[in-house]
Each structure stands twice: as structure tokens, then as C-alpha cells.
Amino acid sequence: MPDIAPVILCGGSGTRLWPLSRETYPKQFVDLGDGRTLFKDTVQRARRVPDSMEPVIVCNEAHRFYVTAELYECGIHGKILLEPAPRNTAPAIALAALALLEGDADPLMLVLPSDHAIGDEAVFFEGVTSAAALAEEGHIVTFGIAPTGPETGFGYIEQGETLGAGGYRVARFVEKPNADAAAAMLAKGGYFWNSGMFLLRASVYLKELERFAPEMYLACKNSWQGRKKDMAFCRPDKETFLATSADSIDYAVMEQTNLAAVVPLRVSWSDLGSWEAFYQIGQRDSCGNVCSGDVMAEGTENCYFNASHRLVAAIGVSGLVVVETQDAVLVAPRDQVQDVKKIVGRLQREQRPECRQHPRVYRPWGSYETLVMDGRFQVKRIIVNPGAELSLQMHHHRAEHWVVVSGTAEVTNGDVVSLFTENQSTYIPVGTRHRLKNPGVIPLVLIEIQSGAYLGEDDIVRFADVYGREG
């Protein structure tokens, strides 16, 4: 099989699975238990594809450190492209294709959304093999999921003539249908759910994009030519990229090209677009409940419970979704979970942080999580990756007390540099220049207690920073 370059699309705002996911913490990075996330599942699945290359990740500025942290945890290296602005899938795939065409390379691209759940990987890999044979012949191949019911939340693909290698020419794409139209397509047969996954040669895609969407092609090409390197990230030029329209690959290319092909996949698949989808793929107990985290249920049936930080107890309820996080709790009937967007809309209008910021925030050096917040004090758990360091900085309005939980901390406190290990602590007065570094080979975990009149993240004056964030 030819070399295949996984291209993982990592956009999305994360609001449909509120409160567990947020604008800055979308569903592909949400911990599903035992450290698993949809993003990790996707990159590991892509790595197991025969003859796969190093992946290309297309994400935005806000999610770049989530991507680097999870690639590190998976032991995978990848090229990370920072999309200058959300412009849907067609421009994102174009940037990846331009990146892969550097030098003499022209690999097949396996384009995968980062937030899908797929069962039976052996069947998926067989589908990739079939699609690769068609892509080698010049086809742009999409994967169609064998439908299990008249789903109205997905687009459909109608198969045309047989092309060999287990694939078909695409007869047409169907937008999300109503219930009657979906039932009619299932009764007729020959229709598949549109998965949003593709296998195509980089040069073929760009040629078809130039043919059918020349302005988009030119904007992406110019943006790529103006790219800049920033640590582990590649930044295409923003100004030229903004000239492109925001279109999907289906609209820009697949619905117009005569090269479109579809390979059916008979696997369990979900785009996990709602809490009901999580219920459907979950492991149910004898009462039909799906439970994640610390949950106790009595006289309760057909519910979905997700507890992140504390015990959730339920008595005598049925058909509910209950999702608990550190700063918010969602309670809704399972058949109304799509209306979570109404709550998110209210939070946005009131500019409340619960719609945007997650308690855990990733940074280039590691992450921090807010444990307690009050008027004049805040407690955080800070994790610094091995060899990483924070900026040399100071605060005008707060003092900090650091207690090492595990690992070794190298602390610059004014003019003094000291080492602290487990159960040792230090105090940083207001207005003192300081820096935290992990000189060890294991993660540094410490508790930070902030106290002062103002505790905002913008009370930071940076004097030196290895990540280019001075100021």
C-alpha cells in the first residue's frame, strides 16, 4: 500500500457537549476515562493504519497546547498547522495538502475529524486499503457509514456505478433529510451516512480545488507561502488566508468533481454530537443507565450520568442526562439535550466564563487547573512538563505560595535560585520577579495559593520567555 499521511482536523467550538466541553476545550480533548480522549483515539488509530506517515494536525490558536500535550502523551510526533481563522474543511485540507507537497512528496492523505468514535478498527483498516487503491487511480474517496436507522442528523451519500476495490462512484450527496426522506432512502438501499472522512492524493485535491474554487485555492496557496515557524507550530499567513470563503470540502469539491468515490464502512460510528450520542455508545447497566465517574443510582433507569469531580447520586428518575463538572451541572431529559445550545447562548450573552473557559487550561509548559476561587484567594494545581519552564515574571497585585506535590522545582525568587522537592514550599511576594522550572525527568506537580486584591490572568509582566511571550 502507498504511503498514507493522516490529516487530522481539530476544529470545533465544543458547545454541544457543555458543560464538559467549552469553546476553549472542545469535545475531542475531553477525558473519557483512563486518560482517553477522542483526539488521542484518532491519532493512535491513524498511527495503526498500515504504511502511515507522521500525522499533520490542523487546529486553531486556542487549542494548540492541547494538541501538543496529547501528542506528547501518545508518544507521537506530528506537524501542527495553526489555521489562522475558522474557514471550514476545504481550506483546512488545502493547507495540509500544501504542507505535504513540500519537496518531491505527494502522499495520499487520510483526512479524519478528531472527534469521531469508530468501532471495529480492522474493518476500518480494510476500508482504508480499498480507498487507497481507488485514490491511486486518481479518485477522491469518501467513506460512507452503513446506516442503522433513518437518522436525520447526518448527510447521506447515494452510491453509483461500481468502481472496483469495494467502492462506488458517488451518484449524489443528500443534505440532512427529514424523517420521511431518511426512511425512504433506507428502504430503497444504496445510501450511506456521510462520515466526513476522506482518502485522496494531495496534488489531486489541490488541482480540483483550483478548478472549482480558484479564489479559495489562491488564498490558501498565498497563505502557505507566507507561513512562519513558531516553536512546534507552523503559522500560515493570516491576512491572505482570510480572503478565502468558509466552505466544506463537500461543497467546494466533492459535489462538483467527477472523481468522487465512496467506500462503504460497516462499523459502529458516531460523531458524538450530543449527550444522547454518548448514551447510545455507552455500556449500560441492568437498568439501562450509562455511568461515568462516581455515580450511585437507586430506582433509576435509562439515564446518562457523567461525574467529573464528586459523587452524583440519583433516586427514582428516568430518561435524564446529568453531567457534573467542577463549575457547572447540566440536568436535562435525554430527548431535549440538543437544547443545551439555549443555555450556552444565555451564558454567552451574559459573558459568563462557564461557556468558554474550562477549569483546566493548557500552556506550552504544561497545564493548570483551578481548584478553589474566592474573592481574595485562588488555589491551582500546576503541572510542568519535564524540562519545561514558565516565563520570568512578576505580579502587581498578588503573592503566591508554592507547595511541591511531586517532582523537583527549580525556583527563581528575586536573585535567588533554589531547588524544592516533595512537601517543600516557597513564598513569592508581590512585585518579585520569579520563574518556575522543572529540571527533572518526571512531571512537576505543585499547588499554588494566590492571594491579593486582584487575581486575573492578565496581572502578569513577563521579562523573559522561551515561548516568545514577552510583554
Q: Which amino acid is at 285?
A: D
Measured from the Cβ of residue 9, the count of other Cβ atoms closer than 10 Å reads 25
Indicate if 339 and 295 belong to the same structural domain: yes
Tell me how far apart the 2 most distant CA atoms of the chain are, in Å.
77
Indicate if 287 and 175 belong to the same structural domain: no
Q: Phi and psi for 366 in degrees, rounded to 5?
A: 155, -130
Indicate if 11 and 106 belong to the same structural domain: yes
Annotate 128-185 with three-state secondary structure.
HHHHHHHHHCCCEEEEEECCCCCCCCCCEEEEEEEEECCEEEEEEEECCCCHHHHHHH
Q: For the domain that residue 85 is a member of, what is the CATH number?
A: 3.90.550.10
Tell me, yes or no, whether 357 lies in a domain. no
Tell me, yes or no, whether 18 lies in a domain. yes
**Of how many residues is the chain composed?**
471
Indicate if 200 and 308 belong to the same structural domain: no
128: nearest Cα among 265, 234, 225: 265
Pairing of strands 295-298, 360-363: unpaired
Tell me, yes or no, whether 440 lies in a domain. yes
Tell me, yes or no, whether 103 lies in a domain. yes
**Which residue segment(s) compose the domain that 420 sits in?**
364-464
Any idea which residue has 514558565 for its cell?
390
Indicate if 330 and 379 belong to the same structural domain: no
Provide the whole-model pTM: 0.83
CA atoms within 13 A on the CB side of 176: 5
Indicate if 222 and 280 belong to the same structural domain: no
Any idea which residue has 439535550 for its cell?
337
Q: Phi and psi for 406 in degrees, rounded to 5?
A: -155, 155
Burial letters for 65-104: b for 16+ Cβ neighbours within 10 Å, e otherwise? Answer: bbbbbbbeebebebbbbbbbeebbbbbbbbbbbbbbbeee
pLDDT of residue 13: 64
216: nearest Cα among 113, 93, 112: 93
Indicate if 419 and 459 belong to the same structural domain: yes
Indicate if 97 and 208 belong to the same structural domain: yes
Tell me, yes or no, whether 356 lies in a domain. no
In the chain, count H helices and then E strands.
Answer: 11, 30
270, 286, 308: which is the final residue of a domain? 270
Tell me, yes or no, whether 50 lies in a domain. yes
Tell me, yes or no, whether 470 lies in a domain. no
Indicate if 134 and 232 belong to the same structural domain: yes
pLDDT of residue 441: 95
Indicate if 342 and 410 belong to the same structural domain: no
Q: For the domain that residue 427 is a member of, what is the CATH number?
A: 2.60.120.10
List, in sequence order, every beta strand (DSSP E) within 266-328: 269-270, 290-292, 295-298, 304-307, 312-315, 320-324
Tell me, yes or no, whether 392 lies in a domain. yes
C-alpha to C-alpha distance for 85 and 75, rounded to whole angstroms:
28
Domain count, the chain: 3
Spell out the per-residue pLDDT of the chain, length 471, in tens: 678 999 999 977 667 899 988 887 888 988 777 778 899 999 999 999 988 999 999 998 888 888 988 898 888 999 999 999 989 999 999 999 999 998 788 999 999 999 898 988 899 999 999 999 999 999 999 999 999 888 888 899 999 999 978 899 999 999 988 989 999 999 999 999 999 999 999 999 999 999 999 999 999 999 999 999 987 899 999 999 999 999 999 999 999 999 999 999 999 888 888 899 889 888 999 999 999 999 999 999 999 999 988 999 999 999 999 999 988 999 999 999 989 999 999 999 999 888 877 778 888 899 998 888 887 899 999 999 999 999 999 999 999 999 999 999 999 999 999 999 999 999 999 999 999 999 999 999 999 999 999 988 889 999 998 887 655
pLDDT of residue 470: 58
Contact (Cβ atoms closer than 8 angstroms) between residue 440 and residue 460: no
Contact (Cβ atoms closer than 8 angstroms) between residue 204 and residue 121: no
221, 241, 270: which is the final residue of a domain? 270
Indicate if 119 and 11 belong to the same structural domain: yes
Indicate if 409 and 308 belong to the same structural domain: no
